[in-house]
Amino acid sequence: MESTEDINTSQFIAHLSGAVSWPGHCYWGKLAVMRAAKAAGMRMRRPLVITDRAAWNAGATVVTQALAATSNNEFQVFDGVVPNPSLAQVRAALQLARKFQCQSIVAVGGGSVIDVAKVVYGCLCSGLEPDELATVRGQAWLEGAVSADDLLLLAIPTTAGTGSESSSAALIQGEDGRKHLYRSLRTRPAFVALQPELTLSLPFGATAQGGFDAALHALGAWVNTDPSPIGKAIALHALRVCMRALPAALDNPDSLSARSDMQMGAYLAGVAIGICKVDAVHAMCTPLESRVKKPHAEVLAPLFRVVSRYTIQTDAQAYADAARQLGFGNTRDDHQAALSLIEKIEQLASHAHISLHFEDLSLSEQDGNLLAHQALKSASMPLNPRVLTHRQISSLYLQMVA
Ligand SMILES: [Fe+2]
Tell me the CA–centroid distance for residue 302 and ligand 1, in Å.
Answer: 14
Neighbours of ion ligand 1 (CB under 5 A): 213
Enumerate the CATH 3.40.50.1970 domain ranges in the chain, comma separated: 25-199
Tell me the CA–centroid distance for residue 8 and ligand 1, in Å.
Answer: 37
Contact by Cβ (8 Å): 236, 222: yes
Q: How far apart are CA 141 and CA 121, in angstroms?
A: 12
Contact by Cβ (8 Å): 187, 165: no
Tell me the CA–centroid distance for residue 106 and ligand 1, in Å.
Answer: 22
Q: How far apart are CA 272 and CA 238, in angstroms?
A: 8
Tell me the CA–centroid distance for residue 296 and ligand 1, in Å.
Answer: 7
**CATH class of the domain defined by 25-199:** alpha beta
Cβ atoms within 10 A of the Cβ of 378, count?
A: 21
354-360's contacts with Cβ under 8 Å and 24+ in sequence apart are: 354/208, 354/209, 354/212, 354/297, 354/298, 354/301, 355/298, 355/301, 355/302, 356/301, 356/302, 356/304, 356/305, 357/302, 357/305, 358/292, 358/302, 358/400, 358/401
Tell me the CA–centroid distance for residue 375 and ligand 1, in Å.
Answer: 14
Tell me the CA–centroid distance for residue 96 and ligand 1, in Å.
Answer: 29
Tell me the CA–centroid distance for residue 255 and ligand 1, in Å.
Answer: 25
Tell me the CA–centroid distance for residue 343 and ligand 1, in Å.
Answer: 19
| Angle between helical axes of 256-276 and 204-223 (0-180°, round to 10) | 40
Q: Does domain 204-401 have CATH number 1.20.1090.10?
A: yes
Tell me the CA–centroid distance for residue 393 and ligand 1, in Å.
Answer: 19
pLDDT tens for the 402 residues of the chain, in order: 444 444 444 444 556 788 888 888 999 999 999 999 999 988 899 999 999 999 999 999 999 999 999 887 789 999 999 998 999 999 999 999 999 999 999 999 999 999 999 999 999 999 999 989 989 999 999 999 888 778 999 999 999 999 999 998 899 988 887 778 898 999 999 999 999 999 999 999 999 999 999 999 999 999 999 999 999 999 999 999 999 999 999 999 999 999 999 999 999 999 999 999 999 999 999 999 988 989 999 999 999 999 999 999 999 999 999 999 999 878 999 999 999 999 999 999 999 999 999 988 999 999 999 999 999 999 999 999 999 999 999 999 999 998
Q: How far apart are CA 170 and CA 89, in angstroms?
A: 14
Enumerate the CATH 1.20.1090.10 domain ranges in the chain, comma separated: 204-401
Tell me the CA–centroid distance for residue 290 and ligand 1, in Å.
Answer: 14
